[in-house]
A and B are shown apart, each in its own frame.
Chain A
Amino acid sequence: RKEVEQDPGPFNVPEGATVAFNCTYSNSASQSFFWYRQDCRKEPKLLMSVYSSGNEDGRFTAQLNRASQYISLLIRDSKLSDSATYLCVVSGGSQGNLIFGKGTKLSVKP
């Protein structure tokens, strides 16, 4: 089983749609969870951290289920500018170490 698994995508959605990404992780000892965004041919950038209680940042909502080792990201009212690859990331063994999923590509169409 891979350490971090994501929906393979790509997701092609119209503007204004709601889209959800799912992710599972294998290491039950992981303590920290994140979503990073990567634009085409650019570097990854932190989108948001994921907390057990769930957290929201504008149109973006992240959820964590530790029992199921499952993370999700919901994007409401999709914009063209949301088109990117979304990387699910969990903390690894070493301090500050991150393990990245393969990413799910989102294309928002007019």
Chain B
Amino acid sequence: EAGVAQSPRYKIIEKRQSVAFWCNPISGHATLYWYQQILGQGPKLLIQFQNNGVVDDSQLPKDRFSAERLKGVDSTLKIQPAKLEDSAVYLCASSAPSLTSGYSYEQYFGPGTRLTVT
């Protein structure tokens, strides 16, 4: 079974530039998550999608970050404009729906995109 795919793996940009990350979840996984992991910290949830609807985006800095999952499969996360403090690894994860509750806590992570803002 193919895992969660992300691209690019690495990106270096200057502050105030824009950047976009792409994620393809495991086939059949309805829930998709974007996390930000700063060096030395645990992953922090930015946004959670259920199919193509947003479940939780309370920690997404909406003045500069946006995300979409138009067809309920692939997703993109965009930062515009980037700041130095956005340097981090951006992880995408997906989970399959549970037959009983409709959601699952077992999340599968992609390899991440390592972003450096200079």
Contact = CB atoms under 8 A, between A and B. Distances in A.
Interface stretch (B19-27, B42-50, B75-83): B42-50
A34 B95 CA distance: 15
Interface of chain B, helix or strand or loop or mixed?
loop
B110 A46 contact: no
A45 B109 contact: yes
Interface stretch (A11-19, A58-66, A71-79, A95-103): A95-103
B40 A97 contact: no
B111 A42 contact: yes
Interface of B: 31, 40-45, 48, 50, 55-56, 91, 95, 101-107, 109-112
Interface of A: 4, 32, 34, 42-46, 49, 87, 89, 91-103
The 7 closest A-B pairs by CB, nearest first: A100-B42, A43-B109, A96-B103, A94-B56, A95-B103, A100-B43, A102-B42
